Amino acid sequence: MADTTYSTPATAESPSTAEAQTAHTGTGSSGLDDLRVSPAAHLAGLMSEASAAGGRSVGLRELPFTVQIGLRAQPDSASWTSLEDTFGLNLPRSVGEVTGDPAAQHVLWLSPDEFLAVDVSREQQPGETIVAEAGLEGLPGQAVDLSANRTILELTGEKARDVLEKSCRADLHPRAFGIGSAIV
């Protein structure tokens, strides 16, 4: 199997440790960076060791503080159009659909009127939802920054699919779960 990358948003509570982890895109510009501790910071060393021991077969790392915004809008409504304009992406229209660039900003379908906008190319900063909220002014809909209560674990390597298949009840065969798909 070719080298594949899987990224999964995972809800987790922040550990009580004071150990901070270097962010996946470098250091941010806000003063928050000195105070933040990612949910899997305490596992960074273990993930790195396990990835190195596995060679190119499998690797695991956290992408901390990634932008994740919960969106709500009825399909084909003014709110829907406003969110598409704000994010510059079409919102997904069906179960499991993902729109956008998986290496940057993309939107996952969660339910008929619920989506998760994710941007793995940069860190979350205060005010991530201001533009979307302004676009929804007076319209039914929602844009909520969920970055602080979630993290993304990235599984890479030749055996990444094998590891996921052993730990997930979903059918991950390419005929059922192709590249660019998402499940809740």
- CA 89 to chain CA centroid, nearest Å: 16
Domain extents in the chain: 4-13+35-167
- C-alpha count within 13 angstroms, C-beta hemisphere, residue 89: 23
DSSP state of 91: P
Structure confidence at residue 161 (pLDDT): 85
Q: How many C-beta atoms lie closer than 10 Å to residue 65's C-beta?
A: 25
Return the sign of the alpha-carbon dihedral for residues 170, 172, 177, 179.
positive
Tokens of 11: 């809800």
Structure confidence at residue 31 (pLDDT): 64
> Alpha-carbon distance 103 to 175, whole Å?
22
Q: What is the tens place of the pLDDT at every residue in 15-70?
A: 322 233 333 444 444 566 778 888 899 999 999 888 877 666 889 999 999 999 99
What is the CATH topology of the domain spanning 4-13+35-167? Answer: Alpha-Beta Plaits (3.30.70)
Residue 159 pLDDT greater than 90, yes or no: no
Residue of 74 and 27 predicted with greater confidence: 74
Q: What is the tens place of the pLDDT at every residue in 81-132?
A: 999 999 999 999 998 899 999 999 999 999 999 999 999 999 888 899 999 9
Total-model pTM: 0.77
Residue 152 pLDDT greater than 60, yes or no: yes
Are the beta carbons of 156 and 59 closer than 8 angstroms?
yes
List, in sequence order, the alpha helices (H) in the chain.
Answer: 44-53, 78-87, 130-135, 160-167
